[in-house]
Amino acid sequence: MSDIFEDIGDLDELAREATSPDAGCRRVAALALGDSGLPGSVPLLGALINDADGDVRQQAAEALGQFDGPDVAAFLIKAIHDPEPNVRAAAIASISELKDKSAAPLLIDAANDPSEVVRENVLRSLKSLRDRNSFDVAVKALSDPAPLVRVQAVGVIAYLKSEDTVVALKAAAHDADPRVRKAAISALSFSRTEGIAETIGAALTDSAWSVRESAADSITDSHVAYIGPEPLIAALKDDYWQVALKAARTLGRLKVASAVLPIAALTSHAEPNLRKEAVAALGEIAHPEARPFLERASEDIDADVRKNARWALQRIALR
């Protein structure tokens, strides 16, 4: 096989490679045509959408995502009905690259595809279009048997950022799969209602540390007004330092003075990333009670911890 990347602008050479009897050569030609950015590549890729080899058709569908125009849309619409699920999934992903909301009905029609990867790509693509008509499809997908499809459904609903979506997101926050719960908790952070504050607060004790981490990162001052800072302060003692880190960061951002000593206790933690974040949080709160802990942290073995400690001490001095 000749080196088709030697002159990627040579469409004649690429055209010869695209009709090679070797499927691997045709697949690489499809990749090169997409990378070329040359408008003349579109008809060649359209021909490869009809290739006998599924891998070639998939690569052609992916490459078409680098272009736009009615011809591109027509080729991708054909690929949506391909017998191979990977080709259909690639075509749907490329359609989303067109950023054309008129494609939403086409994507919605594909939401019941038998392939999990296709349904997942449909929802990911609908999220990027932010089409209100996708809401009902996403709510239905929250009951999909595939967890990753449900995760993408949460993403579609979250992007709409409306109080109308809260009921669906709150239900997803109790999903059996932690990946879905994590996505739902993060998505709920925009809502300032008491019920959502309680839902996010309860997630701080979820069985999955990734969900607890998401909850610690999602709490706002409005939520604290309902549930108080105590659940976040308790999260500073989580068995996973990643959860404690997010809790410290949030408490610092909210400037919770009652959290100074619990956060200060983390300045001697074995994990340097947590020490660095704890010191930064103390700087955000800038309470004099933190001074002795920060003075010790200014001699930490980690340079970032020392830097943050000096900054935090300056903040206290300016009070």
Give the model's pLDDT for residue 35. Answer: 92
Greatest distance between any 2 Cα atoms in the chain: 76
48-74 core/surface letters (b: 16 or more CB in 10 A; e: else):
bbebeeebbbbbbbbbbbbbeeeebbe
> What's the mean pLDDT in 7-36?
89
Q: What is the pLDDT of residues 101-158, one digit of tens each?
A: 888 898 999 999 999 999 999 999 998 888 888 899 999 999 999 999 999 999 999 8
pTM of the model: 0.86
pLDDT at 185: 97
> Residue 238, SS3?
coil
Write down the CATH number for the domain with range 1-98: 1.25.10.10
Share of the chain above pLDDT 90, in %: 83
Check if CATH label 1.25.10.10 holds for domain 110-160: yes
How far apart are the C-alpha atoms of 272 and 47, rounded to whole Å? 55
For residue 4, pLDDT beyond 50? no
The yes-or-no verdict on residue 201 having pLDDT over 80 is: yes
In words, the CATH class of domain 255-319 is mainly alpha
Query: Where along the chain do the CATH 1.25.10.10 domains lie?
Result: 1-98, 110-160, 255-319
**For the chain, what is the mean pLDDT?**
93
Confidence of residue 91 (pLDDT cuts 50, 70, 90): very high
φ, ψ of residue 255 in degrees (nearest 5): 55, 55
For residue range 47-78, list pLDDT tens digits in order.
999 999 999 999 999 999 999 989 999 999 99
